[in-house]
A and B are shown apart, each in its own frame.
Chain A
Amino acid sequence: MSAKKFWLAVAVQILILFGLIGVHSYTLVTGSPVLLKTAPVDPWDPFRGDYVSLNYDISRLHPDALPMTGLPYQSGQEVWVTLKAGNPYWTAAAVSDRRPAVTGGGIALKGTVQWYSEQYTAPPGGPSPVRPAELMIRYGIEQFYVPEGEGQKIQDQRPDISVEAMVDRFGRAALHKVFISGKEIQWH
């Protein structure tokens, strides 16, 4: 077996690892910042340890509160959310199944539909007659890894958490900074 063949095969793996870092770094370097409101829960991942699962205000959206085109959405479908700047948090202005033409300082963020439920109307006499239609979206910035034990603390305190994410021209988002009660957290 030639050494060249062996090291070429190993180089494929190293390239994959650098590719993961490269794609993320591209978004961080070239993206535009958006500040998002979120709330924590604290799961644990056997491969990656403690993390805070971030549930954004723009994760759960309602068709009756903002325009959505291309309904109904399927689970796993790619959708585009138009974000508009707020004070201080960015909010969702519209959802579309195609990339929107964004104007006026807005940003188009790409997400994946986790689930979509139509409006439900219970039979007469039911306790909750109407449940509005709902859309749950993931943006790939829902996990923030923390040192062992810290996830539980954050969960217990349930602090005010916000995130600065960078969104690149392809609509990809990357976590840039996490703020707890307005103060950026850094463990290293």
Chain B
Amino acid sequence: MAERSYPRDFTGLLPEESTRWVSQGLISDEQRASILKLYPEPAGAGRDRTVLIFSILGSLLLAAGVILFFAANWPIISAEVKVGSILTAIVGTYATGYYLTYKRDDYPRLGQAIIFLGGLFYGAGIWLIAQIFHLDSHFPNGFLLWGAGILPVAWATASNPLLYLGTVLLTIWTVSEQTGFNTFNYFYPLLLLGGLMPLARRLKAWPAEAAVLAGLFLWFVINVPSRGQTPPEFNMMLVIGRLLLLYGVAVFTGGLAGIGDVRAYLAIGSVGALGGAYMLTFSTPTYMGSPATPLPFVLNGSPYLMIGTAVILAGVVAGGFLAWRRQGEGQQKLLLGALGLLTVAALAANFPTEVVRMISFNLLLFFGTVGLIALGVGRRSAWIVNLGLVIFIIHVLTRYFDFFFSAMSRSGFFMVGGILLLGGGWLLERNRRRWMQQMGGDGNVR
């Protein structure tokens, strides 16, 4: 019979929880042992994640030392010896990591950290060879070669640390490529969707999946100002706010439709949608473009902006349709209706005045946050509730600074702010505990 896999949170908590059950007399030691045998930890799960974290930190320090050593460019070491050393270091490190991870049973986490070190040495090798041969051709390529080069090893060894490193490196690559050299960099989304996303799915690494979703938006939005003319009255902060809101809704509906890892989609979707609404709650700063009241209509910009917006909108419609079909109960329909309202707000033509726009998006942000918390309670998901609370606190603090910083004396501003925060914290904590208890938890943050 095929062995069933269980969520890591569950298998990770079980040893500690079952010890508590024994101490409370609910089960015997023998029963505890039998239960634990029923739920083995999945391969690579973090019963002792601390070991992995320490080992990864050690790898980072060691790699930094090696890079700095070679960066000193010691004249007594010949180019051949340098190249030979770095190649030996890469192969030797990978061989050691492979041996510890797959040939021995007792050091799998240390083995993973040493494989990660191999990925760092490989990157050091790129820079070292550039140094030895005085290569100066387009520095973002170094990050591309490094990030893309470690993905096959991440795939072969199911290494989450290497996947995360690759994700960060490829993001650095596209940002430096797009902002420093004004290139479209269409290869980046292809690499994200064709390489990183399948790998993140395979390794069940939801933060990497979330990073891919965030990376796609980042790539798209960096290109907006440089791809074709936008009308002069366009204010980029407002354009980005609208696009972010729309993109967040598209990703969120994807999460409701069950595409990919729900945590990644709901996290990026809610942060995107509410973050976009948040950006639209501000008055237009004059230094970021026209101080004029009109809010630009994103479908009325350059061809790049129009096509991009249309693709995101298609994502909203497809995600909404799938989510509607998949979970068509009343509460879900209400949620989808609210998301539809956010979509309309993101695409709406000019508001009568800037104040009307700011009030409208403040209300949308408030009700969106309440909706997110309600969704978390309904789904019994502590992290969604906590995310909603964080967004709520940021919103309240921002408005407090907006309205009272110049209106009150400095001492009064901070004292009242402190009292409000403490009182608000007490209220939130009390309600959060109540929600958690309703959800069946113990009120502790998870």
Contacts and interface: CB of A to CB of B under 8 A. Distances in A.
Given A188-B76, A188-B78, A12 B182 contact: no
B136 interface: yes
Contacts of B71: 45-49, 148
A17 B125 contact: yes
B94 interface: yes
Given A10-B91, A12-B149, A49-B73, A112 B130 contact: no
A49 to B, nearest CB: 3
Interface string B60-102: 0000000100111111111100010011001100100010001
A121 interface: no
A151 B310 CA distance: 52
Interface residues of B, number: 49
Interface stretch (A30-38, A82-90, A95-103, A135-143): A135-143
B409 to A, nearest CB: 46
Interface stretch (A1-9, A60-68, A122-130, A154-162): A1-9
A12 B153 CA distance: 9
A47 B127 contact: yes
Interface stretch (B155-163, B202-210, B255-263, B317-325): B155-163
B133 A174 contact: yes
A75 interface: yes
Contacts of A75: 181-182
A175 B136 CA distance: 10
B134 A141 contact: yes
Contact of A14 (B90, B135, B155, B183): B90
B129 interface: yes
Contacts of A9: 152-153, 155-157
A144 interface: yes
A24 to B, nearest CB: 5
Given A46-B71, A144-B134, A17 B129 contact: yes
A8 B87 contact: no
Contacts of B153: 6, 9-10, 12-13
A145 B73 contact: yes
Given A1-B102, A1-B158, A13-B90, A147 B75 contact: yes
**DSSP majority for the A interface?**
mixed
Interface in B119-134: 122, 124-134
Interface residues of A, number: 40
Contacts of A148: 71-73
B91 A47 contact: no
Contacts of A142: 136
A146 interface: yes
Nearest to A172: B137
Contacts of B135: 20, 24, 140, 143
Contacts of A164: none
A76 interface: yes
Interface string A51-63: 1000000000000
Given A9-B155, A24-B133, A48-B131, A76 B149 contact: no
Contacts of A146: 73
Given A48-B130, A140-B136, A3 B98 contact: yes
Nearest to A143: B136
A50 interface: yes
B199 to A, nearest CB: 12
B156 A17 contact: no
26 contacts: A5-B156, A6-B94, A6-B102, A6-B157, A8-B152, A13-B125, A16-B145, A17-B86, A17-B126, A17-B129, A20-B129, A20-B133, A21-B83, A21-B129, A47-B131, A48-B73, A49-B131, A51-B134, A76-B181, A143-B134, A145-B131, A145-B132, A147-B75, A148-B72, A187-B75, A188-B79
Interface of B: 67, 70-79, 83, 86-87, 90-91, 94, 98, 102, 118, 122, 124-138, 142, 145, 149-150, 152-153, 155-158, 181-183
Shortest 4 CB-CB distances between A and B: which pairs? A49-B71, A187-B75, A9-B152, A47-B127
Given A76-B182, A146-B73, 9 more contacts: A9-B152, A9-B155, A10-B94, A10-B153, A13-B125, A141-B136, A148-B72, A174-B134, A175-B133
